[in-house]
A and B are shown apart, each in its own frame.
Chain A
Amino acid sequence: MKLIFEKGNINRRLDLMPECDVPVVDVDERYKRKKEIRLPNVSETEISRHYTKLSKRTFGVNNGFYPLGSCTMKYNPKINDEIAKLPGFSDVHPLQPEHTVQGCLEVYKLAEEYLCEITGMDAMDFQPAAGAHGEFTGLKLIRAYHRDRNDTKRDKIIVPDSAHGTNPASAAMAGFTVINLPSTEEGFVDVDALRKVVGEDTAGFMLTNPNTIGLFEEHILEITSIIHEAGGLNYYDGANLNAIMGIARPGDMGFDVVHLNLHKTFSTPHGGGGPGSGPVGCKMHLTQYLPTPRIAEKDGMLTFEEKNGKSIGRVKDFYGNFLVVVRALTYMMTLGSEGLKNASENAVLNANYMLHMLKDTFDIPFGKGRCMHEFVISLEKLKKEKSVSALDFAKSLLDYEIHPPTMYFPLIVHEALMVEPTETETKETLDEVIAIYKELYDKAYTDPDSMHNSPATTPVGRPDEVAAARNPILRFF
């Protein structure tokens, strides 16, 4: 398909702005641009058709089943988007006087109340723009806490080897050294190994629970107290919160700080990669280190509090991805106490149903036939016997117009496919997908070549990624 730069005509343009009604001022030669800008010269019709064509080459949750493990691709309710478009939210300047933005601040205040109750935390801050940004912020809180207590030798963050890549990357970015903790054969945190690595240099421990293979860490209280007894803090990666809303809370499991992904659990759309929102919650003993400004209530008015000597400071411009928080609040209000629990229950039910229907066909190495909101299939046997890899299996699914599961994660499972159906899928869809998975499994034995060559029906086949990385072409001109 043509790029937008390959369409149009140099003399084509839209008439969008009026003539200048004040004296025209020209830029001094010293600052004047000489370099030409090659932007598209297209009509509105061409733009509309170009992007419509691109949208047809894009697969969203609205197109079909999207069980991307650890990403919680649930349906994105339209009312959320409609509310976010209200001018009262979308056309407000971030530096307006506080008394003119009481509604915006109320959104944050309400969202904080909801999320604190859901997670068992004492405060929630919305400045971080995405999950990884939240991790970075949360880890900075841990650092500030230890430093404030003159406990400066704590420079190590322990991360299980099954963790998301962002965990170690965020820890390193926040100035910590990362200790990788191997998992047990059952896929859990190795409690004995953990005991051995903790010490006076332990700053904290990062964990998602349910963990990345979709299992609840049963020894969670023991794990978090090992860290606490060693003087460290526990960090909860909220990637998998969708399994436990209204059922269990990180705050009750011994976690001191959490980040959430509003674009996962709280139904805000992912936009092809972003924007997300990664609020950070913490217990009382960490609130004084939260980023500035903080939203506070003063004489019945909500305000931004700028000053706080112990704060880690600002982590971005202005305050948070506001319109994402508006969407998440709309969602939480819609579901309410019962609805959120109901969502988690059905997320876990859907995952268990799929797992149950697939477990006699596929190798599902962990969990003994049960899981929380997601489970991991290993195709190691298919790979060995028929050279059909997790990648081949995933690409074959594309021809059935369903999105593949997450591939090759977590790293501790060979030929992994991680399936997270979410609660917004019907039983009919699950049954259809189960049949397709089984059909493909058989095909791996009868016609493996067709799987190696898949997909056959997509606008393009498998791209040559090696060529792309060896000789990067990263722009058109």
Chain B
Amino acid sequence: MSKEFLFTKTHEWVQFLDDTTARIGISDYAQSELGDLVFINLPEEGDEVIVGESFADVESVKAVSNVYSPVTGTVKSINKNLLDQPELVNMDAMDAWFVEVEGISDKGDLLSEEEYKKLIAE
């Protein structure tokens, strides 16, 4: 998969596999800010996700952060590896996708990689 990554201002990434299917994760910047993740709460397959609304949360030892969806659609599959190994996100955030969403009907304001880099540099 060589498709480009797009980003949200709330530090999620989204990678479209085709027009209506995409994978979602959190950015490398997000994982480094959060520190060592100890658990990831994922939705269930078949759940609806909505642009700008939280669909998962990530736990570090002393904090919980929501993960917001960049798109509206239905959860096709979840990355079950993350349930046992949350550290995969710390190791390679761009590889450690959270969910694959299908039937995408809407998407929020998404930033290119360049734009996102600018944002976090500020």
Interface residues of A (CB under 8 A from B): 408, 465-466, 469-470
Contact = CB atoms under 8 A, between A and B. Distances in A.
B28 interface: no
A408 B63 CA distance: 11
Given A465-B61, A466-B36, A466-B38, 6 more contacts: A408-B62, A466-B61, A469-B38, A469-B61, A470-B39, A470-B87
Contacts of A469: 38-39, 59, 61
B73 interface: no
User: Counting chain A CB atoms within 10 Å of each CB, which of B36, B59, B86 scores highest?
Assistant: B36
A470 B62 contact: no
Contacts of B38: 466, 469-470
Nearest to A407: B62
A469 B60 CA distance: 9
Contacts of B62: 408
- A-B CB proximity, top 3 nearest: A469-B38, A466-B36, A465-B61
Nearest to B87: A470
10 contacts: A408-B62, A465-B61, A466-B36, A466-B61, A469-B39, A469-B59, A469-B61, A470-B36, A470-B86, A470-B87
Interface string B67-95: 00000000000000000001100000000
Interface in B29-62: 36, 38-39, 59, 61-62
Nearest to B59: A469
Interface residues of B, number: 8
Contacts of B87: 470
The A interface, classified by DSSP as helix, strand, loop or mixed, is helix
User: Counting chain B CB atoms within 10 Å of each CB, which of A408, A465, A470 scores highest?
Assistant: A470
A469 to B, nearest CB: 4
Interface of B: 36, 38-39, 59, 61-62, 86-87
A466 B86 CA distance: 11
A246 to B, nearest CB: 37
Contacts of B36: 466, 470
A408 B61 CA distance: 13
Nearest to A408: B62
A392 to B, nearest CB: 15
Nearest to B86: A470
Contacts of A466: 36, 38, 61
A4 B91 CA distance: 38
User: Counting chain B CB atoms within 10 Å of each CB, which of A408, A465, A466 scores highest?
Assistant: A466
B33 to A, nearest CB: 14
A469 B39 CA distance: 8
Contacts of A465: 61
B53 to A, nearest CB: 16
A469 B36 CA distance: 10
Nearest to B38: A469
A469 B86 CA distance: 11
A130 B38 CA distance: 30
Contacts of B59: 469
Nearest to B90: A466
B5 to A, nearest CB: 27
B65 to A, nearest CB: 13
A408 B59 CA distance: 17
B72 to A, nearest CB: 23
B84 to A, nearest CB: 9
Nearest to A466: B36
A468 to B, nearest CB: 8
User: Counting chain A CB atoms within 10 Å of each CB, which of B38, B62, B87 scores highest?
Assistant: B38
B58 to A, nearest CB: 12
A178 to B, nearest CB: 15
Nearest to B61: A465
A422 to B, nearest CB: 26
B19 to A, nearest CB: 37
Contacts of B39: 469-470
B69 to A, nearest CB: 21
A11 to B, nearest CB: 41
A198 to B, nearest CB: 26
Contacts of A470: 36, 38-39, 86-87
B41 to A, nearest CB: 13
A474 to B, nearest CB: 14
A408 B87 CA distance: 24
B36 to A, nearest CB: 4
Contacts of A408: 62
B100 to A, nearest CB: 24
A3 to B, nearest CB: 24
A81 to B, nearest CB: 34
Contacts of B86: 470
A470 B37 CA distance: 8
A466 B36 CA distance: 7
A466 B85 CA distance: 12
Contacts of B61: 465-466, 469
A408 B36 CA distance: 18
A469 B59 CA distance: 10
Nearest to B36: A466
Nearest to A469: B38
A465 B62 CA distance: 9
Nearest to B62: A408
B77 to A, nearest CB: 23
B86 to A, nearest CB: 7
A409 to B, nearest CB: 11
